[in-house]
Amino acid sequence: MTMQLRGSPFLTSATQPIFAPGQMDACFPTMTKSIRSGMGKLKIQKSDAEWRSQLTSEQYRVTRQGGTERAFSSLDWDRRQPGLYRCVCCGRTLFSSEKKFDAGVGWPNFTAPVDDEAMTEHPDRSFFIPRTEVRCADCNAHIGHVFGDGPLPRGRRYCANGIALEFQKGLPATAARSGNPAD
């Protein structure tokens, strides 16, 4: 298997944009089909004050305000134990260690979410290159971004903020073992 990884667009010092403007959308022509309209369909809706009281200030900044944690600041970026990664806001399982890989960029990276319904995808044009943001499907927490430079054959790289995730040690016996763990 060929691993083709390049620098993370999270890095503001990046001098080689991975995608030209508009190119990201071309990479994922079906992506917009999964985009939901947002708050209307969420299972978990809380007021801003409730989120603020539940989360630390950094968790709130990242998950509810779309922030990005500092690279290498989370224990999760190179965690290797088997386990599940849940949304820190609502507890929904988003990723499994089986799809985790080290992209060397200082944030936890996964080749796929635990299931296709776990997260929603949203165009993000706040950066100098267009990106695709991923949010928890249940509570709309900002988790990170998905890029097209992941391991083949699927080629997707979910770059998450570790602070948006809660690690639960151990995998359930029924955990799916199909697909492409890529590590």
Positions that interact with Zn ion (CB under 5 A):
87, 89-90, 92, 136, 138-139, 141
* Residue 140 Cβ vs Zn ion, minimum distance, rounded to whole Å: 7
Residue 113 CB-density burial (10 A; 0-12 exposed, 13-18 middle, 19+ buried): buried
Judging by DSSP bridges, how do beta strands 119-124 and 93-96 pair with one another?
Answer: unpaired
Could you tell me if 133 and 122 are in contact, meaning their C-beta atoms sit under 8 angstroms apart?
A: yes
Residue placing its CB nearer to Zn ion in the complex, 139 or 165: 139
Residue placing its CB nearer to Zn ion in the complex, 15 or 37: 37
Catalytic annotation on 27? no
* Residue 42 Cβ vs Zn ion, minimum distance, rounded to whole Å: 9
Residue placing its CB nearer to Zn ion in the complex, 24 or 136: 136
Residue in 87, 89, 90, 159 annotated catalytic: 159
Residue ranges with strand state E in 57-150: 83-87, 93-96, 100-101, 109-110, 119-124, 131-136, 142-147
* Residue 89 Cβ vs Zn ion, minimum distance, rounded to whole Å: 4
Catalytic residue set: 159
